[in-house]
Amino acid sequence: MAQETQNHTLSVSGWAAYDSNPIPSNAGGENGVNDVTIEVLYCGICHTDLHYAKNEWGITMHEITGVVIKVGCNAGKFKIGDRVGVGCLAASCLKCEFCADSQENYCDQMQFTYNGIFWDGSITYGGYSNVIVADYRYVVRIPENLPMDSVAPLLCAGITVFSPLKDNGMLGSPGKKMGVVGLGGLGHVAVKFGKAFGHHVTVLSTSPSKETEAKGRLGADDFIVSTNSQQMQAGKRSLDFILDTVSAQHSLGPILELLKVDGTLVTVGAPDQPLELPPFPLIFGKRSVKGSMTGGMRDTQEMMDLCGKHNITCDVEVIAPDTINEAMDRLAKNDVRYRFVIDIAGRISNI
């Protein structure tokens, strides 16, 4: 990590979680030679934020969109006024095999935009503030045709589902049978990607009431109630690939039975308790279970550009900063469709 990164001398306004009944915070660093300073317009609230604020995890606060207001001398790819986004990544070593392959998210020195620790001991505080300073190498451009509020969650939810789709051959090979487990913040974006990439998409959910939303509005081809044994039996060996976005503890066994022989399930939902993984659906179907974490910067920009091409955004509810506590309570009850986004700038922007 370059030594000019972050030194917290810039005063900003922010929101902080002082205990496990949250209201979140941020402070910015002075702009360095590799940095851009961004006026934050919107910041998404991720389920990760809820985990951290309740002391379940140790990471949080990201999904930032805004406008560049200052550019370091080495950050010439950006200019003042550019529409940009900052996701989960704030720094990496830039030297290892993963950084060389633009998989910075797997660098063992990677630091998050939230609760990362830089070379000088300073801490990253995420996007719940009016200004953020970021190394230009971890900033992406936002297409002009996409609204900044509903783009913000793409920097977490979007790349989290896009990366495993790309890694498992679901881009550029239309016509596959794809399953999406869970129709929430991650799942609804996965459905949009699956349809944009030309696949037959089946949504699995414990909630029968979500079928109309999945098929009627998001364009899913099929819907399976995962607690309905008849529907699960009818779907056996029908899917090439499954993306499991559920963040609650559950068994992978019945879901794996839906995969064809040699099929793959990727889990991205990250429950705070271990998943149940019985061996026989793996053994008798030559199936694979994998994990995936966000994505590197090259993939993030590719995802954003494809979203611009296909006009893909997240379905969001925009809230004011003074309602963050209420939003956190609602998020804990899954009472959002599908992501909260904070209007940090205090205006409904047309940018």
- Crossing angle of helices 157-167 and 185-196, in 10° steps, is 50
Is residue 290 scored above 70 in pLDDT? yes
Q: What is this structure's pTM?
A: 0.87
Q: How far apart are CA 129 and CA 350, in angstroms?
A: 20
Question: Which has more confidence, 177 or 116?
Answer: 177
Does CATH number 3.40.30.10 belong to domain 13-156+295-343? Answer: no
Residue with tokens 């620790």: 117
Q: How far apart are CA 81 and CA 320, in angstroms?
A: 24
The per-residue pLDDT for 159 is: 97
Residue type at 68 in one-letter notation: V
Other CB atoms within a 10 A radius of the CB of residue 345 amount to 17
The per-residue pLDDT for 11 is: 52
Measured CA to CA in angstroms, residue 55 lies from 18, 218, 345 at distances of: 11, 34, 28
Domain definitions of the chain by residue range:
13-156+295-343, 158-291
Q: What is the mean pLDDT of residues 271-281?
A: 93
Is residue 285 scored above 90 in pLDDT? yes
CATH fold group of domain 158-291: Rossmann fold (3.40.50)
Q: Are 182 and 249 in contact (CB under 8 A)?
A: no
| Model pLDDT for residues 33-85, shown as the tens digit of each residue | 999 999 999 999 876 545 444 444 444 556 899 999 999 999 999 999 999 99
DSSP label at 284?
T
